[in-house]
Chains A and B, each alone.
Chain A
Amino acid sequence: MKGTLKEVAVVVTIIAGAVIFSGLVESGSVRDSIIRLCGVGLFALSLNLLVGYTGLLSFGHAMFFGLGAYTFAILLRTTGFGIPLAAACSIALSGAVAAVVGAICVRLTHVYFAFLTLAIQMLFYSLLIACSGLTGGEQGLIGGIPRPKFLGVDLMQPGEYFVFNIAIFVAAAWALWRIVRSPFGAALRMIRDNPQRAVFLGVDVYRTKLAAFVLASAFAAIAGMLTALYVSGAYPNFAFWTMSGEGLFMIMLGGVNGFAGPVVGAGLLLLLDTVVNAYTAHRGLFLGLAILVTSLGLRKGVVDFVRDASDGRFASERTGGRSKERASGAQSGLHEAAIQQSNTEGV
């Protein structure tokens, strides 16, 4: 109970901080970067519920990012719905679609799960392109998204819009935090680490994974909505596999072992992209080298690395264990062993 109060205090403080911040800082660019980070950061966080906590390597998460964005944008444009109602409908639709897709996908494990989610996402992408009457096809939804006032909030005001983004992001992140700290979250980690044990302890592995899939998709839909509002439109690329790939990249960059890792990864990627883009025409070369150095050099996410390095004893224990693993030809890496296990047991 005390923990919850503390968390509420943190959430309130951050939002209050955002209000003060938006009053102090006039620079649109700083605000814009943060707003953008809210969208992609939440996307990466939601994906990590699957990748990091459940051990499900989804390559099709962008489908729900896109579904949320498109549904939200289309509802706001064509119906008289306000933002809360449009958002609720989009989340509900994304969750329902995720339930169907998840029911098919979570039966499979590891690489096969990755490919199946990828394929379904690409099917969804083809449909987005084909149904051009509704979605605008290849060029996406053009003509802007209206931002009607609701509950006294006017998103046309830059300050209020900024605080709105922070509030939604913090609320969603807090909800995700509660989920991974709950008994349900413990069940997810158990499925990741030792599915057999989970079965023995009476966990319905299939249903639990499905529930995680639906939850992650709903949060991805929220991320999609924030992003749709930000760019004032929805585009097929939102649901393309590269978007899913970027999400995985952010998780990898930040690390899967800390709750905030994906957000740090998202921030790092945006920062890298901005800096590299601004100072060189050879973006690919520099970004590629940066990725190579970090991925091969650290062999884990930045947050994981910093945490391990700051706790020297723990770190040496870990690397010691790891090199032993490598010598015996076993899998090393972030949570490969867990995935490996879940596969051989054919959950």
Chain B
Amino acid sequence: MDLSALGICAATSSCIVTQVAAGLISGFLLFLVAAGLTLIFGVLGFVNFMHGSFYMLGAYFAYAAYAATGSYTAAVIAGAAGVGALGAALETSVVRRIYHADVLLQILVCYAFILIFDDLVGIVWGDEFLSMGMPSAFKRAPILLFGGVIPPFYLFLVGIALAIAIGIALLMQKTRYGKIVRALADKPGMVAALGINTQLVYASLFALGAMLAGSAGALAAPVRSMTAGMGFAILIESFIVTVIGGMGSIAGALVAALMIGLVRSFGSIGFPLFTEGLIFVIMIAVLVVRPQGLFGRQVREL
């Protein structure tokens, strides 16, 4: 515990800028994964434990596309679209059949897929860690702001993530599709009675959630070393975000993800050994005081 270091940091602009930037960067990436999870969770009521695998596959698809084309844009599109398509296929073949099943069964099926995907990645891409490398467009000196350091690539990541966040918010709030989804979350029977093809909506929503995780994996591929099982850590963090922010709430996911990013970046200076612990303390506090999460509504129980 070194709170004086935290105090010194808080007094210097360079430290604040760098740590805030670092917190936002990891926060926004986490948000992309958690946003998909919270949608699937909040609307479909499905405990998607294989969400981390989507993140992993996004990174690997991007790696393959980048190796083939040399284009980062193509890589990100391959990661997002590939995982989106996989999500749609999984939904229609398996997940659809267990929406109403016991949570235990859902988790078990997801666990099976995690094992299978991890192993397949090992078979296709090898067990050794891979690294995609920085696209040449981003090979620039970091930007200096009030003495703080911000890499241009991370600035780009934050921009893209923000754009996606706004895009999803618009999709959910302003479009007919969004209205149907929100209605589904509250009264699924009613929506079906109105003659809307709910199965199609479910499948598309699951694919959208998967695509978000896949795009996060693809976007982050240049700065993460890839390996089978890399989805595990981010899965747990995404669940924390979902719980703190409130299941089904995009805004909640954003706030919670940024909060975790900032706790982590400032925690590493002030109390490096207990950063994880503090995050769980926050989660416990939220669950005890406000079980539905900061932005969650007291909706039907899942």
Contact = CB atoms under 8 A, between A and B. Distances in A.
Chains A and B share a contact (CB less than 8 Å) = yes
Given A291-B112, A292-B109, A104 B104 contact: no
Given A123-B281, A127-B277, A334 B119 contact: no
A134 interface: no
A262 to B, nearest CB: 12
A195 B18 CA distance: 53
A331 interface: yes
B116 interface: yes
B291 A108 contact: yes
Contacts of A249: 108, 111
A110 interface: yes
Interface size class of B (residues with CB under 8 A): 35 or more
A282 B102 contact: no
A114 interface: yes
A122 interface: yes
A248 B111 CA distance: 11
A57 B100 contact: no
Interface stretch (A12-20, A75-83, A174-182, A336-344): A336-344
A295 B276 contact: no
B47 interface: yes
Interface in B64-114: 94, 97-98, 100-105, 107-109, 111-114
A295 B105 contact: yes
The CB with the most chain B CB atoms within 10 A, among A283, A292, A334, A339, is that of A292
Interface in A289-347: 289, 291-292, 295-296, 299, 326, 329-336, 339-340, 343-344
A335 B103 CA distance: 10
B34 interface: no
A285 B116 contact: yes
Interface in A228-253: 241, 245, 248-249, 251-252
A288 interface: yes
Contact of A288 (B105, B119, B188, B283): B119
B280 A122 contact: yes
A284 B111 CA distance: 10
B171 interface: no
A114 B107 CA distance: 12
B123 interface: yes
A115 interface: yes
B104 A57 contact: yes
B116 A289 contact: yes
A291 B122 CA distance: 19
Contact of A119 (B94, B112, B284): B284
B105 A252 contact: yes
Given A114-B103, A119-B280, A282 B119 contact: yes
B120 interface: yes
A112 B114 CA distance: 23
Contacts of B109: 291-292, 295-296
A336 B45 CA distance: 13
A111 B119 contact: no
A334 B102 contact: yes
B195 interface: no
Interface in A260-289: 282-285, 287-289
The CB with the most chain A CB atoms within 10 A, among B94, B240, B287, is that of B287
A334 to B, nearest CB: 5
A241 B236 contact: yes
Given A291-B108, A291-B111, A116 B302 contact: no
A282 B97 contact: no
B102 to A, nearest CB: 3
A194 interface: no
Contacts of A110: 103, 301-302
B302 A111 contact: yes
Contacts of B277: 123, 126-127, 130
Contact of A126 (B100, B123, B240, B280): B280
Interface in B197-251: 236, 239-240, 243
Contacts of B276: 122, 126, 129
Given A115-B243, A122-B280, A285-B120, A326 B301 contact: no
B105 A334 contact: yes
B287 A115 contact: yes
B273 interface: yes
B273 to A, nearest CB: 5
Interface in B253-302: 273-274, 276-277, 280-281, 283-284, 287-288, 291, 300-302
B287 A116 contact: yes
B170 interface: no
Contacts of A292: 94, 109, 112-113, 116
B119 A248 contact: no
6 contacts: A108-B291, A129-B276, A252-B108, A285-B120, A288-B119, A334-B102
Given A122-B280, A129-B273, 20 more contacts: A108-B291, A111-B103, A116-B291, A119-B243, A122-B276, A126-B276, A245-B107, A282-B122, A284-B115, A284-B118, A284-B122, A285-B119, A287-B115, A292-B109, A292-B113, A329-B100, A331-B102, A332-B101, A336-B100, A336-B103
Closest 5 CB pairs of A and B: A284-B119, A333-B102, A288-B115, A288-B116, A126-B277
